[in-house]
Chains A and B, each alone.
Chain A
Amino acid sequence: QVQLQESGPGLVKPSETLSLTCAVSGHSISSGYYWGWIRQPPGVGLEWVGSIHHSGSTYYDPSLKSRVTISVDTSKSQFSLKLTSVTAADTAVYYCVGGRWLQTFDSWGQGNLVTVSS
């Protein structure tokens, strides 16, 4: 059973960088799974941010690609999200996710609300 746990600040100032980490347990992070991030603005639906394979291959939503970096640290069994130059539109609950395939998310973290505000 894959377990995912997000961590990171709940408040980020406009124009700064949002950084979140997801700890993976119950499954080897190098086992062939895909890991990623999905966000949910308040009262709105789900938005895919991007995903990464343990080999390092990354896949990003084109609308965020210029600002997003997802990376994996196999030694710590965790992966991370960095989103630069944030605005209020980036305020959302950020979920880390995992799955056997790039396109399907069968494991979810509990979510981390990040508010962008000065």
Chain B
Amino acid sequence: DIQMTQSPSSLSASVGDRVTITCRAGQSISTYLNWYQQRPGKAPILLIYAASTLQSGVPSRFSGSGSGTDFTLTISSLQPEDFATYYCQQSYSTPLTFGGGTKVEI
């Protein structure tokens, strides 16, 4: 199984801040990496797929980068609705695996 490790596990930020979340894969996965956002009590939603492609309808303040084993999700200017938990997921091979999540708090 491909281990996915996110850092930090939580962070505190303010509205308007630039936020960066890191995800590391246990082996090279090229750009087979997705990012999801989960607000409290809600189902996750797909933000970014293939490491850097924005899902339709997702605000442009979200961006993703990376390849191989190291990836980042960046929120350029944090908005109130962005306080949530973010998960990375490798889409390189089954079993599909997720990172442990990064909780973005006020």
Contacts and interface: CB of A to CB of B under 8 A. Distances in A.
B34 interface: yes
Nearest to B4: A45
A45 B46 CA distance: 15
Interface string A86-109: 000000000100000111111011
A64 B93 CA distance: 17
Judged by DSSP, the binding face of B is loop
B94 interface: yes
A16 interface: no
A73 interface: no
Interface string A32-49: 000000000000011110
Interface residues on B, range: 20 to 34
A72 B100 CA distance: 30
A104 B34 contact: yes
B83 interface: no
Contact of B94 (A59, A101, A111): A59
Interface residues on A, range: 10 to 19
A45 B87 contact: yes
B32 A45 contact: no
Nearest to A63: B95
Q: Lowest 7 A-B CB distances belong to which pairs?
A: A103-B91, A108-B43, A48-B96, A46-B98, A61-B95, A106-B46, A45-B101
23 contacts: A45-B101, A46-B44, A46-B89, A46-B98, A47-B98, A48-B95, A61-B94, A61-B95, A62-B95, A102-B94, A103-B91, A103-B92, A103-B94, A103-B96, A104-B34, A104-B49, A105-B34, A105-B36, A105-B44, A105-B46, A106-B46, A106-B55, A108-B45
